[in-house]
Amino acid sequence: MSINAEAVKAALSTVVDPNTGKDLITGKSAKNIQVSGSDVTLDVELGYPAKSQIELIRQAATDSIRALPGVGNVNVIVSSKIVAHSVQRGVKLLSNVKNIIAVASGKGGVGKSTTAVNLALALAAEGASVGILDADIYGPSQPMMMGISGQPESLDGKTMEPMENYGLQVSSIGFMIDPDQPMVWRGPMVTQALQQLLEQTNWRSLDYLIVDMPPGTGDIQLTLSQKVPVTGAVIVTTPQDIALLDARKGLKMFEKVDIPILGIVENMSVHICSNCGHAEPIFGQGGGQKMCTDYGVDFLGALPLTMSIREQTDSGKPTVVADPDGPVAKMYKEIARKVAVKVAEKAKDMTSKFPNIVIKND
């Protein structure tokens, strides 16, 4: 019995990508299917970084084709291709950054910066080129969390090179000021500083730039929504009612300025005792999940309140790099994959495909 492309497609339609929930044909991941006699070759192109998933998906696709009667050699090549996606109307993409993801919270103290840095590191661990911008001008924490000291260098006197550690490119006002020096600045200066950090850092071919937002819904958030090309936002909250109250305001703010919500992360979901392992929901239960149900957005995952997360981040080696195979790092990686899949499902940016139309008067 001869093999044909239709039989191969039918086999691949039974293989579901565990991250998108779609089969390889419906999700348009299977490409370049070629049948030569009894031999089959094809590419599977994922729209999100998936280093840890590639072998799993390759094996599933290979097994499905090998089950066809009369098949010979099967060669499946799985790769990730991350492209730029659409942003708010009227805002231009940065030439060297494909997707900007804002990590925000309505209030401080919910672990937003810790979540942001671990999400960035998790995306990098999955094979993406990632940067992190510390947009919290008044309380920059990324230099400490990323274990980076010193000042960025400028090669041309106008722009600056990003600082680097653990494979991430990093920009923060914290690299330019004394750690004990308070930023006694009014709103316009703060927003100008944010734009300079974003536009005058020489980001190098980023798939994702994670923006660690300051808490609240003030000047910086407004600037970000009006002038920065944001692909989507992740809201971080705790299950506590007072945190959820402010998280709702943050969510509503992004909705008003046409920035899609990629999902909600519930941090400090349950406290795990380091002595006996007893789990206790100190801040309440199910608040993040309920908020998702109320607003029709995705629940990206829940993270525990453990001493190790705090200790690792304070020491400049966040959980994803301090304990990359541990259970908490696994949670961060799962959340990061969900975020990347949500981005991949958005409309692609087509502005580069259209020519600039110039009208001249003769």
128 in Cβ contact with 341 (< 8 Å) = no
Q: Which residues are annotated as a binding site?
A: 106-113
187-209 core/surface letters (b: 16 or more CB in 10 A; e: else): eeebbebbeebbeebebeebbbb
Q: Which residues are annotated as a binding site for ATP?
A: 106-113
